[in-house]
Amino acid sequence: MPDRLATLDRELLAAHAAGDMPALVRLYAEAAEACEAEGQSDAAGFYRTHAYVFALALGDARAGALHAKLKADGREQ
């Protein structure tokens, strides 16, 4: 999975450079899931928080599920 995370980081940088907000939500959420699968809960929380913030900024429907997961993980009230 480290190769996948490296790929996601490159894709995230490209999405930031392009200002592609929908891609940022998707990529940050995917990175959170990848980290979670590797037992990296702090990294997963970092990525999921970013996915949530970009989803909120977009009014993206995924914001609710991201928020619920952050709450379940004790990272949001």
3-56 confidence digits (pLDDT tens): 988 999 999 999 999 999 999 999 999 999 999 999 999 999 999 999 999 999
Q: Tokens 């619920």 label which residue?
A: 68
Handedness of CA 22, 41, 37, 63 (dihedral sign): negative
Q: What is the pLDDT of residue 59?
A: 97
Is residue 77's pLDDT more than 90? no
The reply to whether 7 falls in a domain is yes
The reply to whether 77 falls in a domain is no
The reply to whether 36 falls in a domain is yes
Structural domain of 23? 2-72
How many domains does the structure of the chain reveal?
1
CB atoms within 10 A of CB 3: 7
pTM value?
A: 0.93
